[in-house]
Chain A
Amino acid sequence: MTRQTDLELALDRYLADRGDRLPDRVLEDALTEVDHTAQRRPSFPWRFPSMSTPLRLGLVAVAVIVAAVGGMYLLGNRSNTNVAATPSPTPTAQPSTAPSSQAPEASGPAMAQHESPIYGYTIGAPAAYQFIPATVEWPAGEDLGPETEWTDRFRAGTGTAFVGIASQPLPEGTTGDQWLDTYAATVETRECGGPVGDWTDVTFRDVPGRKLSFDCGGFAGVDYAWTLGDRGWVISGDAAVVEMMLPTLNIP
């Protein structure tokens, strides 16, 4: 049984339908649990349908230019990095931090620097974007979404493009890989999470993480997830904007 055809025929026979029936008690147990389970309301897509095509194309073009200039995202080592294996500071609820102006990057849009009051990181975002900071820390077991109060949200002024960032402590006894697996599983089933590719391993300033490109109503989205110290982190949203912002991220 070494030839491919023999093997495939044998597998066809081995795996053929045997009239397996799901025991009634299993079905009943599942439906009983369903009776006590709430459905999740749709929290995606990350962007809103009113975004104009020119704006979309503009953002993509900007991202490409920024990449070409050399400041772009993963695999790059920045001399001013302070991403180290230390936990982020204790979160404290504060009002929104006003963005500070920053000189526009060469060929890029004007960027504004923001500091997350809950998660403590700083990041640059297009100056025209509105920053809506999280008011509570991301609870374990909850999804991220543009309306969730644990998501730091960056929205285009016209209310179209969107990027979300959040972080949570790793549950006790959970390894970084396990946390990433759990997060990946939630993305698999979300409305706008139909992945167009596998999660890929990436390194962000020597910190290992994962990346997933996904399709959201025909528009490209991306998730980056990684763990740092005892916390898990996610940045997700419009691919072009995420990749524009990510190189500016600093986690103390």
Chain B
Amino acid sequence: MDRAIVEQAARGDRDAFGVLARVHGDRLYAIALRILNDTGRAEDAVQQTLVQAWRELPRLRAVDAFDSWLHRILVNACYEEGRRTREWSSHIRVLPIDGPAGPDETRRLADRDEIDRGFRRLPPEQRAILVLHHYLGLAPSEIASTLGIPVGTARSRLHYAHRAMRAALEAEERSVEPAEEVAR
């Protein structure tokens, strides 16, 4: 990121901020979509993030940390979106699965469907950790920096998120098995 553009925006240059918003918009949306699993709420979270980033930008001390600062605002906006709707599952629209489902794809899509259902069982805080790690590719130390938490806490949260994901998958399997038995 061009440091000069961030500094310009921090000084109140709306055009410079527009550049930042366009550069980061798609990435922010992709992250929010994965955490919230809902296009409408992801759009709301990104919009809130951009407006808050504009308001708070003059207070950003470390311009080089702009990316992680922006991600932190986004994650908090996603949490807020999550809090607004307590019943997560009742508002989820399933994201489309890209690509044709040829014979070789069958198992992969089955896995994906399984992961999708398991992922939707997780609370937003655990989804956020998994998205930062598996989508953005952040190491625990970078997650810690992004979320403003100690590295040990980031490691611990990541561990528990993986564990929760495994538990969610097992719960999914248990809920499917009886139905299969009835079918037989």
A residues sitting closer than 8 Å to B (CB atoms) are 1-2, 4, 7-8, 10-18, 20-23, 26-27, 29-31, 33-35, 37-44, 181, 185, 188-192, 194-198, 217
Collect the chain B residues with CB atoms within 8 Å of residue A185's CB: 76, 80
Q: Is the CB of A12 within 8 A of B134?
A: yes
Q: Is the CB of A15 within 8 A of B149?
A: no
Given contacts A18-B98, A34-B51, contact A189 B59 (CB under 8 A): yes
Q: How far is B43's CA from A22's CA once the two chains are assembled, in angstroms? A: 7
Collect the chain B residues with CB atoms within 8 Å of residue A14's CB: 112, 115-116, 119, 134
Collect the chain A residues with CB atoms within 8 Å of residue B58's CB: 39-42, 191
Q: How far is B55's CA from A191's CA once the two chains are assembled, in angstroms? A: 12
Collect the chain A residues with CB atoms within 8 Å of residue B30's CB: 17-18, 20
Neighbour of B25 across the interface among A27, A181, A194, CB < 8 A = A27
Neighbour of B61 across the interface among A17, A33, A191, CB < 8 A = A191
Q: Is the interface of A mostly helix, strand, loop or mixed?
A: loop
- Which residues in window 67-84 of B have CB below 8 A to A? 72-73, 76, 80, 83
Collect the chain A residues with CB atoms within 8 Å of residue B17's CB: 31, 34
Q: How far is B80's CA from A21's CA once the two chains are assembled, in angstroms? A: 22
Cβ distance B112 to chain A, nearest Cβ, rounded Å: 6
Given contacts A13-B112, A33-B51, contact A21 B29 (CB under 8 A): yes
Q: Is the CB of A20 within 8 A of B59?
A: no
Cβ distance A47 to chain B, nearest Cβ, rounded Å: 14
Cβ distance A203 to chain B, nearest Cβ, rounded Å: 21
Q: Is the CB of A39 within 8 A of B150?
A: no
Q: Is the CB of A189 within 8 A of B73?
A: yes
Q: Is the CB of A190 within 8 A of B56?
A: yes
The CB with the most chain A CB atoms within 10 A, among B60, B134, B149, is that of B134
Q: Does B54 contact A (CB under 8 A)?
A: yes
Q: How many of B's residues come within 8 Å of A, CB to CB?
A: 54
Q: Is the CB of A15 within 8 A of B134?
A: yes
Collect the chain B residues with CB atoms within 8 Å of residue A37's CB: 51, 54-55
Q: Is the interface of B mostly helix, strand, loop or mixed?
A: helix
Q: Does B22 contact A (CB under 8 A)?
A: yes
Q: Does B138 contact A (CB under 8 A)?
A: no
CB-based A-B contact count at 8 angstroms: 140
Cβ distance B25 to chain A, nearest Cβ, rounded Å: 4
Q: Does B26 contact A (CB under 8 A)?
A: yes
Q: Is the CB of B148 within 8 A of A29?
A: no
Q: Is the CB of A15 within 8 A of B25?
A: no
Q: How far is B54's CA from A239's CA once the two chains are assembled, in angstroms? A: 29
Q: Is the CB of B134 within 8 A of A11?
A: yes
**Those 7 A-B pairs whose CB atoms lie nearest each other, nearest first:** A191-B59, A22-B29, A30-B50, A22-B25, A20-B30, A15-B135, A195-B148
Q: Is the CB of A190 within 8 A of B59?
A: yes
Q: Is the CB of B55 within 8 A of A188?
A: no
Collect the chain B residues with CB atoms within 8 Å of residue A181's CB: 83
Q: How far is B26's CA from A39's CA once the two chains are assembled, in angstroms? A: 23
Neighbour of B114 across the interface among A1, A189, A198, CB < 8 A = A1
Neighbour of B115 across the interface among A10, A22, A198, CB < 8 A = A10
Cβ distance A217 to chain B, nearest Cβ, rounded Å: 8
Task: Pull 28 A–B residue pairs with CB atoms less than 8 Å apart, ordered by A.
Answer: A1-B114, A7-B169, A8-B134, A10-B111, A11-B165, A13-B108, A13-B115, A15-B34, A15-B135, A22-B29, A23-B43, A30-B50, A31-B50, A34-B17, A34-B18, A39-B56, A39-B58, A44-B59, A181-B83, A188-B73, A189-B72, A189-B73, A190-B59, A191-B61, A192-B59, A194-B61, A197-B149, A198-B150
Of all chain A residues, the one with the shortest Cβ separation from B135 is: A15
Q: Is the CB of B162 within 8 A of A4?
A: yes
Q: Does B106 contact A (CB under 8 A)?
A: no
Q: Is the CB of B149 within 8 A of A198?
A: yes
Q: How far is B149's CA from A196's CA once the two chains are assembled, in angstroms? A: 6
Q: Does B6 contact A (CB under 8 A)?
A: no
Provide the B161-180 mask, 1 if CB < 8 A to any CB of A, else 0. 01001100110000000000
Q: Is the CB of A20 within 8 A of B80?
A: no
Q: Is the CB of B149 within 8 A of A195?
A: yes
